[in-house]
Chains A and B, each alone.
Chain A
Amino acid sequence: MRRKLNKFPIYGLLVMGSALFLVPLLWMISTSLKAEGAIFVFPPQWIPKSLHWENYKTALTILPFATFFKNTCIITFFSLVGTLFSSSLVAFGFARLRFPGRRVLFMVLLGTMMIPYPVTLIPMYILFNRLGWVDTFLPLIVPSFFGSAFFIFLLRQYYLSIPLELDDAARIDGCGSFQIFYRIHLPLIKPALITVAILNFMGTWNDFLGPLIYLQSQEHYTLALGLNIFKGMYSTDWNLLMAASLVILAPTVILFFFAQKRIIGGIALTGLKQ
C-alpha cells in the first residue's frame, strides 16, 4: 500500500512535465487554425472561435511547397539507398571479416564521429563547387554512398549478435564472404536496417545546413529551406507559418508513431557502447 501512495508525486511530475512538453505543439496547432486577426488577440485563445482550415492551403500555395516536397523526397530517397547499401556492407566487413588493421580502422571510424562538421564544411564546398555540383542534389546525396560512421557503428553491433557458427557453416558449404553477407546476414539484420532507414530519413528530411549551403535556386529548395524563406517573407503571419511548419514536421512525427520501438531501440543502443 505504501508503495502505491509513493507513486502519486511521480505521476504528478510526469503529467506536469508532459503538459509542458506538449504546450508548444498545441500552441502551434491552435495558431495554425486561427484567422489573421485572431492571432494578435490578448489573452490568447486556445481554441479558436472559428477554425480556418484554409490556412493550410494558403500557406502551402504561396510558395511552391509541392516542388520543395518533391525535392526533399528525391534527396531523402537516394540518401537512404546510399546509406543502407554502404553502411550495411562496411559494418559487415568490420563485424565479420578478419583483416590486418581492422581494430585501428574501426577506432578511426569511431573517432570521426567526434570531428566537428564545420571543419570539413568549407573544403567540401570548394570540392563540390569545383565539380560543378553546387545547386544540384549531388552534394547532399553522394556522400551517403560512402557510409556514415554512426550507422556503421550501429549495424556492427547487430552483426556481432549473430552467431559465428552460421558463417562457419556457410563457408563449409562453399559460400564466399559476400554471399554470407547477402544471403545470411542481410535478412537477419533487417530490423536494424529499418532502424537505420528511419533515423536516416529523419536526418535528411530535417537537414537544414546542407541544403542551405548547396542549394541556391528556389526550384531546388527542400522543405526546411522553403520554410525558412517563408518565414522571411511572412514574418508576422503566424497562423500560416505554423500551418506550414506542422505540415513539414508531420511526416517525421507520423513515422515516429509507427516506428517508435525501433527508433527508441536504436537510440538506446548508441549509449551502450564501451
Chain B
Amino acid sequence: MTRRERREAIEGYIAILPWIIGFIVFMAGPILASFLVSFCDWSILKPARWIGTQNYGTLVSDPLFWQSLKVTFIYAIVSVPLGLGTALAVALLLNQKVKGLAGFRTIFYLPSVMPLVAVSLVWMWIYNPKFGILNFFLGKLGISGPEWLQSTTWVLPALIIMSLWGIGGGMLIFLAGLKNIPFELYEAAIVDGANSWQKFRSITLPMLSPTIFFLLVMGTIGSFQVFTQAFVMTEGGPLNASLFYVLYLYMQGFRWFHMGYASSLSWILTLIILLCTLIIFKSSAAWVYYEAEVKR
C-alpha cells in the first residue's frame, strides 16, 4: 500500500465510521442482546433471571403464538401476491403511453404517503358495518355486507383489501422496470408475429423478473412485520382473529413486560423471515432472469 492509498483507506474508514458505530450499537449489539435476553425471565422491573430454553418451550405450547403465526402467514400468502399482481397490472396499464400518466400515477401513489394511523382510521370508517361506505355500495348490488372488522371471518380479508390501497410504491418500481426493457425486444417480437400475450409472457415477464423478485422479498419481509393497522383498527380482535405476530410481540414486551418471552418471539420471527427469504432466493434461480448471465 502506498502512502496515498493508506491515507485514502483511513479517510474511508472515517467516512463510514458513523454507520459502523450505528451498526454495532443499534443493530449487531441489540441482535446479540435480544438472543441472550430470549433465554431470560425479565420483566424490566426486576433483574433478569437466566432460565435457559424455557421461553422457547413455553412458546411451543402457547396457543396465542400459533394463532399469531397463522394470522400472519395467511395475510402474507394472500396479500403479497395480490399486491404484486395489482401493482403490476396498474403499472402495465400506465406503461401503454397513456395521456395523463402523471395524474394517474399520483392518484395511485397518494395513499402510500399518508400516515398509517390516519389510513387505518379511514378504513375503520369505511368498514363500519351500518354506516360505512363499503356496505352501502354492497347493498346497492344487493349484497348484505358482513361485519368486516367485527367478524372473525372477515377481519383478515378486510385488512388485505386495505393493503391494496398501499400498492403505490410497488407500482412505481414496476413502472421503472418496464421502462428499462429495451424496445427492440418488442420490435423483434412484432416482426416474428407475436401477439400481446406472447410478448408479455416471453419478454415482459422475464425482463421484469428481477423486479418481481425484489418486490417479493421486500413485500414478504414487510408483511411479516405488520403492526400499526392491527394495533389501531382491531387490537388483534375479534377473538384474536387479527392477532398479527408483531402485535402479539408488542403486547408481550410492552404491555405485559415479558421482555425475555418477547425476545424469543422476535428470534423465531427473524428465523422465519430468514427461511422465507432463503426459499425465495433459492427458487429465484429457476425463474429470475438476469441479462448479464446471457451476455457472458
State the CA gap A214–B121 with chains docked (Å). 22
State the CA gap A268–B262 with chains docked (Å). 36
Number of interface residues of B (CB under 8 A): 92
State the CA gap A138–B250 with chains docked (Å). 21
User: Are A245 and B266 in contact, with the CB atoms below 8 A?
Assistant: no
User: Chain A's nearest CB lies how many Å from the CB of B109?
Assistant: 7
Chain B residues in 8 Å Cβ range of A174: none
Among A21, A31, A92, A268, point to the contact of B107 (Cβ < 8 A): A21
Chain B residues numbered 111-157 whose CB sits less than 8 Å from any CB in chain A: 111, 113-118, 121-123, 125-126, 128, 130-131, 133, 136
User: Are B106 and A21 in contact, with the CB atoms below 8 A?
Assistant: no
Q: Is A227 an interface residue (CB 8 A)?
A: yes
Number of A-B residue pairs with CB-CB distance less than 8 Å in the complex they form: 270
Among B12, B90, B133, B277, point to the contact of A44 (Cβ < 8 A): B133
Residue of B nearest to A145 (CB): B18
Residue of A nearest to B180 (CB): A272
User: Are B111 and A21 in contact, with the CB atoms below 8 A?
Assistant: yes
Q: Is A127 an interface residue (CB 8 A)?
A: yes
Q: Is B279 an interface residue (CB 8 A)?
A: no
Residue of A nearest to B114 (CB): A249
State the CA gap A157–B177 with chains docked (Å). 17
User: Are B125 and A123 in contact, with the CB atoms below 8 A?
Assistant: no
State the CA gap A237–B19 with chains docked (Å). 46
Q: Given A18-B108, A152-B19, A177-B8, A273 and B253 touching (CB < 8 A)? A: no
Q: Is B66 an interface residue (CB 8 A)?
A: no
User: Chain A's nearest CB lies how many Å from the CB of B255?
Assistant: 11
Q: Given A17-B108, A178-B11, A249-B115, A27 and B126 touching (CB < 8 A)? A: yes
Chain A binder among B24-32, B50-58, B198-206: B24-32
User: Are A245 and B118 in contact, with the CB atoms below 8 A?
Assistant: yes
Residue of B nearest to A142 (CB): B26
User: Are B117 and A24 in contact, with the CB atoms below 8 A?
Assistant: no
Q: Given A40-B131, A118-B269, A205-B115, A24 and B12 touching (CB < 8 A)? A: no
Q: Is B246 an interface residue (CB 8 A)?
A: yes
Chain B residues numbered 191-221 whose CB sits less than 8 Å from any CB in chain A: 210-211, 214-215, 217, 221
Number of interface residues of A (CB under 8 A): 96
State the CA gap A186–B225 with chains docked (Å). 35
Q: Is A170 an interface residue (CB 8 A)?
A: no
User: Are B172 and A267 in contact, with the CB atoms below 8 A?
Assistant: yes
State the CA gap A117–B26 with chains docked (Å). 11
Q: Given A112-B23, A120-B30, A24 and B126 touching (CB < 8 A)? A: yes
User: Are B172 and A92 in contact, with the CB atoms below 8 A?
Assistant: no
Q: Is B185 an interface residue (CB 8 A)?
A: no
Among A100, A145, A271, point to the contact of B215 (Cβ < 8 A): A271
User: Are B8 and A97 in contact, with the CB atoms below 8 A?
Assistant: yes
Residue of B nearest to A13 (CB): B93
User: Are B136 and A118 in contact, with the CB atoms below 8 A?
Assistant: no
Residue of A10, A143, A246 most packed against chain B (CB within 10 A) = A10
Interface pairs A-B: 5 shortest CB-CB: A146-B22, A93-B15, A271-B173, A268-B176, A99-B12
B20-45 toward A: CB 8 Å interface, digit per residue (1/0)?
A: 11110111011101100100000010
Instruction: Provide a sorted-by-A list of 7 A–B residue pairs whose CB atoms are within 8 angstroms.
Output: A11-B98, A14-B93, A112-B27, A120-B30, A122-B263, A253-B113, A268-B173
Q: Is B62 an interface residue (CB 8 A)?
A: no
Among B104, B110, B114, point to the contact of A206 (Cβ < 8 A): B114
